[in-house]
Amino acid sequence: MPTIAIVGAGPGLGLAIARTFGSRGFDVALIARTKDKLETLVAQLGKEGITAEAFPADVLDRPSLTTALEAAADRFGGIDVLEYSPAPHSPVPGLSMAVPSEVTVDNLQPQIEYNVYGALAAAAAVLPAMRQAGAGTLLFTTGGGSVHPVPMLGNVNAAAAALRNWVLNLHNELAGSGVHAAHVAITAWIGEGGPEGIPSATPEQIAPLYWELYEHRDQPELVFNG
Ligand SMILES: NC(=O)c1ccc[n+]([C@@H]2O[C@H](COP(=O)([O-])OP(=O)(O)OC[C@H]3O[C@@H](n4cnc5c(N)ncnc54)[C@H](OP(=O)(O)O)[C@@H]3O)[C@@H](O)[C@H]2O)c1
């Protein structure tokens, strides 16, 4: 069976992506910091007939992320699709938000570590085997501010834009290799209870984009507008 590894797997988008691929024959490796929360998702997916397993790791602790992805590849016989979408719903030490005029090395660096370096480490753990196989998919997610920045997310958007730029260029580099890299930008609040005036969407409305990218294999980017 093919396998998807979801880095930053939570009850929102992560679970919806797991269901989207799992219901189409994929095994699922779930990666996030909290084992208990991952085990809840594993049980939920199991009830739906989807084989999933938890591989706890922190994207800010890159060796732990590499180890988790290696363990997932060992367990499932390889990783066919990597999806990267951690979100700091519970506090992540060092992460804060700053308007552009207040962005500093100190509040940008952790966002770069979270958005960019974590993604680089995840890709590095799976790309060599994908290249060797001449097949594989690398999907990376940011908010719509990576494309159209908003002042309240000055540091977050700068780091997300760096990730987006790298992914689009990785897409270019990998053209013709059989490995496909793509970026998803989400211009919406996911779930209920978002700020007034901000469009919202359910994870189930967004997750099909990932399957579309996986199937069509030619697009560098999809933007979801809520
Ligand atoms: N939520 C929104 O309104 C929104 C809007 C636009 C774009 N997005 C994008 O959508 C994706 C997230 O979707 P979602 O909000 O529905 O989240 P989700 O899939 O429900 O959960 C994301 C998970 O990331 C994990 N995580 C946080 N920090 C981590 C770390 N340092 N290392 C490893 N895992 C970590 C958290 O679990 P632990 O706490 O257990 O680690 C959390 O459960 C992100 O790419 C985000 O940029 C979200």
Buried residues in 140-164 as b, exposed as e (16+ CB within 10 A): bbbbbbbbebeeebbbbbbbbbbbb
Helices marked H in 97-207 — which ranges? 105-112, 118-133, 154-174, 203-206
pLDDT band at 198 (very low <50, low <70, confident <90, very high): confident
Mutation probe of ligand 1 site: the residue of 33, 116, 153, 202 with most atoms within 8 A of C-beta: 33
Average pLDDT, the chain: 97
Distance 188 CA to ligand 1 centre (A): 14
| Rounded Cα distance, 74 and 185, in Å | 31
Spatial contact of 113 and 62, defined as CB atoms under 8 Å apart? no
Residue whose Cα lies nearest atom 10 of ligand 1: it is 85
pLDDT band at 197 (very low <50, low <70, confident <90, very high): confident
Distance 29 CA to ligand 1 centre (A): 15
Within 173-220, strands assigned E span 179-187, 189-190, 200-201
Q: Is the pTM above the cut of 0.95?
A: yes
**Closest atom, ligand 1, to C-alpha of 16:** 19
* In the predicted structure, residue 226 carries a pLDDT above the cut 90: no
Domain range summary for the chain, segments of one domain joined by +:
3-225
**Closest atom, ligand 1, to C-alpha of 118:** 32
- At residue 91, the pLDDT reads 83
Provide the token pair at 34. Answer: 């909290």
Q: How far is CA 17 from CA 41, 47, 69, 106, 201, in A?
A: 12, 16, 17, 33, 14
What residue has token string 């007034």?
A: 196
Spatial contact of 97 and 156, defined as CB atoms under 8 Å apart? yes
pLDDT band at 116 (very low <50, low <70, confident <90, very high): very high
* In the predicted structure, residue 193 carries a pLDDT above the cut 90: no
φ/ψ region of 63 (left if φ > 0, alpha if ψ in -120 to 50, else beta) reads: alpha
Distance 106 CA to ligand 1 centre (A): 22
In the structure, which protein residues have their CB atom closer than 6 angstroms to any atom of ligand 1?
A: 8, 10-14, 32-34, 37, 58-60, 85-90, 92, 141-143, 186, 189-190, 203
One-letter amino acid identity for 127?
L
DSSP class of residue 34 equals -
* In the predicted structure, residue 153 carries a pLDDT above the cut 90: yes
| Rounded Cα distance, 11 and 16, in Å | 8
| pLDDT, tens digit (0-9, with 9 covering 90-100), for 54-95 | 999 999 999 999 999 999 999 999 999 999 999 998 888 899
Higher pLDDT residue, 220 or 194? 220
Residue whose Cα lies nearest atom 11 of ligand 1: it is 85
Spatial contact of 225 and 143, defined as CB atoms under 8 Å apart? no
CATH 3.40.50.720 fits 3-225, yes or no: yes
**Mean pLDDT computed over 105-133:** 98
